[in-house]
Amino acid sequence: MFDRLISLIGRENVDKISKTNIAIVGIGGVGGFTLEALVRCGIKNITIFDGDIIDISNLNRQIITKWDNIGKSKVSEAIKRCKLVNPDVNIIGFEEKIQEDNVNKLDGFDYVIDACDDINAKVIMIKYCTGNNIKIVCALGTGKRLSPEGVVISRLDKTSNDALAKSLRQRLRKENITLKIPVVYNSNIALNNDKTISSSIFSPGVAGLYLAYFVINDIINKK
């Protein structure tokens, strides 16, 4: 199934990709697209974390969501979808959120992809990964923006127009944790300041693909 990818980046790089071990935390609007892209790019060893169930409000933007799986576990439905794409994928799922008492489950991964919307979990993961030499890339603000044209790969200390990034920087500074963390976010100004996080498929979908691209590109460009 990877003939066209092999012709694009070479068999050696596809082999590197297949041997990489990745964790994705959050399988929603952003993380679902990340997972989909990684499976279709040949990542075979994936562990996913998400404690939520699929809600009807997810239908407008989450790739794993359908009418017939509303109310079901995001993790279990994501695993089913991945197996339909590539039956050989080795995917493990945990129906839980990352917290202080389980963050050590991130041990041993080559990459951790933070696609969750919980700032406490983000701080915990960044602190743990940077302290244990685990590469981490984080999704930040994608809601309240319609256009995906502002979605960029950047660094936490270089973001703008993102309230989540600002709060995360403040938290990390208090704990003397580096801000030189790769991130994906939408740099456009939010369309509203409502407490409800309004969203469409465009911004989180593109952000999810960018997260996957960041990891794949990093793997094939390792020296």
Q: What is the pLDDT of residues 182-221, one digit of tens each?
A: 999 999 998 887 777 799 999 999 999 999 999 999 999 9
Q: How far is CA 81 from the centre of its chain?
A: 17
Provide the Cα torsion 133, 186, 16, 108; round to 10°: 30
**CB-CB contact of 64 with 32 (8 Å):** yes
Q: Using the 8-state DSSP alphabet, how is residue 100 labeled?
A: T
Cβ atoms of 162 and 187 closer than 8 Å: yes
Q: Which two tokens stand for residue 153?
A: 């790969």
CB atoms closer than 10 angstroms to residue 81: 19
Phi–psi pair at 142, nearest 5 degrees: -130, -15
For the ranges 35-39, 127-131, 160-164, the lowest mean pLDDT is seen at 160-164
d(CA 8, CA 2): 10
Domain residue spans of the chain: 3-220
pLDDT at 223: 59
Q: Within a 10 A sphere around the Cβ of 60, how many other Cβ atoms? A: 11
Q: Which CATH superfamily is domain 3-220 in?
A: NAD(P)-binding Rossmann-like Domain (3.40.50.720)
Query: Residue 141: pLDDT above 90?
Result: no
Three-state DSSP at 106 gives helix
Stretch 66-87: mean pLDDT, rounded?
98
Q: Is the pLDDT of residue 90 over 90?
A: yes
Residues in a beta bridge with 46:
22, 91
In this prediction the pTM is: 0.96
